[in-house]
Copies of this chain bind each other. A is one copy, B any other.
Amino acid sequence: MSKAPANAAAATYDRILDAATEVIAQRGYSGAGVQEIIERASSSKGSFYFHFPSKEKMVEALVGRMSDKLVETVQEAMEGQPTPLHRVAASIDTLVSTFARQRKVAQVLLLNIIGHGRETDRRFLPMRERFSQMIQEELDAAVSADQIPPQDTALVSQMWVGALHEVILRWLLTGQPSPLTNATPPLQGALMRSIGAEPASFTPAIAASARRRLS
């Protein structure tokens, strides 16, 4: 019952972003009112606009912070892996388990932030492009290393991002599979097969670093 916010002592700037995460996760981008956000942040209208020039810029800052942390987490998980395919498997593993632990981040990043006119969307596209590029680089390396046959790695990495996106989205909307991480093995299997790789044994132990919070 005691609703003392866990972030009471944080700087106003961060408290606003934290509050925005929750409100956007609950109500979507346009449903998230500045009023509710500042109430949840125990702040004020004036403070909000002291720290951010507009609601839209604030969301940009929020998405930037989220995706920076996510990319960092994923890259750390990839570092310890021996081959490109191991690395790409590790990245998928980390992505899924990170979202599984942080529903709200998934909600904001994957669901509640698109579909508001081309301008805004184009601005958030880069985040998904970042992941598909990370994947593509590893796939290219795998091709170079003869781990997999030559193929349209740009398209395939897009497909992977889409496949992951969809599976996580279903989980967000229906709760299935529960837990989300149950989907990881067959997901990895299908993805590996799609590029002509043996699905077996690329799934790595999840690195400790993946346990970190994103928001």
Q: Which residue of B lies closest to A157 (CB)?
A: B166
Rounded to whole angstroms, the CA-CA distance of A166 and B163 in the bound complex is 8
The A interface, classified by DSSP as helix, strand, loop or mixed, is helix
Would you give the shortest CB distance from A17 to chain B, in whole angstroms? 19
Using Cβ atoms and an 8 Å threshold, which residues of chain B touch A111?
114-115, 121
Rounded to whole angstroms, the CA-CA distance of A75 and B87 in the bound complex is 40
Contact partner of A194 (CB less than 8 A), chosen from B112, B177, B190, is B190
Is the pair B195, A190 in contact by a Cβ cutoff of 8 Å?
yes
Contact count band on A: 35 or more
Is the pair B170, A166 in contact by a Cβ cutoff of 8 Å?
no
Would you give the shortest CB distance from A69 to chain B, in whole angstroms? 21
Q: Which residue of B lies closest to A27 (CB)?
A: B117
Contact partner of A162 (CB less than 8 A), chosen from B114, B167, B186, B189, is B167
The contact string, 1 if C-beta is below 8 Å from chain B, for chain A 165-201, is 1110110011001000001001101110111100000
The segment from A94-102, A148-156, A202-210 found at the interface with B is A148-156
Given the interface pairs A31-B117, A183-B155, the reply to whether A125 lies near B173 with Cβ below 8 Å is yes
In the A-B complex, the 7 residue pairs with the closest CB atoms:
A162-B166, A194-B194, A159-B163, A28-B117, A152-B186, A115-B115, A162-B162
| 17 A/B residue pairs, CB under 8 Å, sorted by A | A26-B117, A27-B117, A30-B116, A31-B117, A114-B115, A115-B116, A121-B173, A122-B173, A151-B190, A156-B186, A159-B166, A160-B163, A162-B165, A162-B166, A163-B166, A191-B194, A193-B196
Q: Which residues of A contact B (CB under 8 A)?
A: 26-31, 111-118, 121-122, 125, 128, 151-152, 155-156, 158-167, 169-170, 173-174, 177, 183, 186-187, 189-191, 193-196
